[in-house]
């Protein structure tokens, strides 16, 4: 249980001031026991420090109240029942000191003072438990976020440029193995700790692109996925026959798939539109007489809405120039 070990460390790391209750309900020695009872009820607490002209002079608790009640002394003043000369904790002390105080004195609460001795808060065992749990939860949350940042894979690698490359060859018309590359890609991203939403988008885009090569390309093709600290770049290339009218191919519902393919459940004309939906940037090219070139970019650690253009267009135009 690593949590237990971490809890023990936290008792040394956290300071009393970090977990104490800051809004302290106080009474004075002149407060009546009846008023004190109302305060406990109203604030759902079991004791308060007693202040006289801003100076801490004692602590009074529900145990004192019960005794006064038993003796029918609710008209008495707090000053007659409080414990004088309160044992305090310093805000800057580590929690382990407080834990020790609770076991040593058996009190339910300790007033917390600053370096100058001024009352700055109150500490109960409940405050300690709450403080520890809150801190553990924050750490757990941070760890989760860290795990989901793909870039942590690259954290300890020192280089000018680092990326992970996944490459697969896709055989034409091989329906037996169709979809295997994209499921391997999906598994790899999952192993790398990518965000589920990112994995989903990459999985859909690569699956559709892979199926297009299987179905439409004459000689199969290649799919590569580059995982960079800030983005995932997918490239799918084949050697033909290419797409004569890209705008038309991008239309939802447009398909040239023959009946034999449609019988297999493909050919709805939704592959390319689906890819576009998953991409932050998408580039589809098919020079006359050549094959089809598809590039898809998915940004990591960004909440941008997917759009066309941007970096890919710039890269493409610089390649053409
Ligand atoms: N790699 C490719 N090579 C040649 N033509 C392609 C290629 N990819 C897509 N096309 C053309 O673009 C059309 C639309 O593709 P899209 O993926 O949107 O639909 P589909 O593959 O026909 O059907 P679905 O993807 O819904 O099963 C295809 O019918 C085909 O004519
Ligand atoms: Mg398709």
Please report the pLDDT score of residue 148 as a whole number.
59
Place of tokens 């020079």: 287
Tell me the H-state helices in 217-254.
246-250
Pairwise CA distance, residues 93 & 12, whole Å = 9
Pairwise CA distance, residues 110 & 17, whole Å = 12
Pairwise CA distance, residues 145 & 242, whole Å = 42
Distances (CA, A) of 142 to 121, 124, 231: 28, 27, 21
Structure tokens at 320: 């053409």
Of the listed ranges 66-70, 127-131, 313-317, the least confidently predicted one is 313-317
Q: Is 252 in the pocket of ligand 1 (CB under 6 A)?
A: no
**pLDDT tens-digit readout, 187-244:** 999 888 888 889 999 999 999 999 999 999 999 999 999 999 889 999 999 998 999 9
Q: Is 212 in the pocket of ligand 1 (CB under 6 A)?
A: yes
SS3 185: helix
Please report the pLDDT score of residue 156 as a whole number.
79
The answer, yes or no, to whether the previous bond of 121 is cis (omega within 30 of 0) is no
* Helix 95-105 with 2-13: angle, nearest 10 deg: 90
Question: What's the CA-to-centroid distance between 268 and ligand 1, angstroms?
Answer: 9
Backbone angles phi, psi at 171, to 5 degrees: -85, 145
Structure tokens at 305: 């809405």
Sequence-distant (6+) residues with CB within 8 A of 7 are: 132, 136
Nearest ligand, CA 216 = 1
Of the listed ranges 182-186, 214-218, 264-268, 270-274, the least confidently predicted one is 264-268
Closest CA to ligand 1's atom 17: 271
Q: Is 220 in the pocket of ligand 1 (CB under 6 A)?
A: no
* Helix 95-105 with 125-148: angle, nearest 10 deg: 150
Q: Is 79 in the pocket of ligand 1 (CB under 6 A)?
A: no
Backbone angles phi, psi at 220, to 5 degrees: 80, -165
Question: What's the CA-to-centroid distance between 76 and ligand 2, angstroms?
Answer: 86
Structure tokens at 99: 């834990």
Instruction: Return the ligand 1 atom nearest residue 252 CA.
Output: 18
Q: Is 266 in the pocket of ligand 1 (CB under 6 A)?
A: yes
| Probe target for ligand 1 pocket from 181, 210, 212, with the most ligand atoms within 8 Å of CB | 212
- Binned at pLDDT 50, 70 and 90, residue 151 comes out as low
Place of tokens 């001024």: 118
Structure tokens at 277: 């939906």
CA-nearest of 224, 220, 240 to 232 is 224
First to last CA, the chain: 60
| Average of per-residue pLDDT across 27-53 | 95
SS3 74: coil
Pairwise CA distance, residues 147 & 195, whole Å = 9
């Amino acid at each position: 249980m690593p949590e237990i070990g971490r809890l023990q460390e936290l008792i040394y790391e956290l300071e009393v001031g970090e977990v104490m209750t800051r809004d302290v309900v106080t009474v004075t020695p002149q407060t009546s026991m009846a008023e004190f009872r109302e305060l406990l009820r109203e604030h759902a607490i079991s004791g308060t420090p007693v202040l006289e002209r801003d100076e801490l002079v004692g602590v009074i608790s529900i145990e004192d109240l019960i005794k006064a009640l038993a003796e029918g002394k609710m008209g008495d003043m707090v000053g007659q029942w409080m414990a004088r000369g309160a044992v305090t904790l310093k805000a800057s002390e580590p929690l382990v000191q407080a834990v020790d105080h609770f076991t040593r004195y058996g009190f339910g609460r300790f007033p917390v003072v600053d370096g100058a001795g001024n009352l700055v808060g109150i500490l109960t065992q409940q405050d300690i438990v709450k403080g520890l749990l809150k801190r553990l939860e924050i750490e757990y949350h941070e760890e989760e976020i860290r795990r989901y940042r793909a870039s942590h894979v690259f954290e300890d690698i020192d280089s000018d440029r680092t990326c992970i490359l996944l490459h697969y060859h896709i055989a034409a018309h091989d329906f037996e193995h169709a979809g295997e590359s994209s499921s391997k890609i999906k598994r790899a991203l999952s192993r790398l700790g990518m965000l589920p939403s990112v994995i989903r988008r990459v999985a859909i885009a690569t699956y559709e692109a892979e199926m297009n090569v299987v179905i439409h390309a004459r000689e199969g093709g290649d799919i590569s996925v580059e995982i960079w600290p800030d983005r995932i770049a997918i490239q799918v290339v084949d050697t033909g026959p290419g797409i004569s009218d890209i705008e038309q191919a991008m239309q939802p519902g447009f398909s040239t798939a023959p009946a034999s393919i449609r019988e297999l459940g493909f050919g709805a004309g939704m592959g390319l539109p689906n890819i576009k939906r998953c991409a932050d940037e998408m580039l589809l090219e098919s020079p006359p007489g050549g094959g089809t070139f598809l590039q898809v970019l998915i940004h990591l650690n960004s909440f941008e809405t997917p759009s066309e253009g941007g970096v890919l267009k710039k890269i493409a135009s610089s390649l053409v120039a």
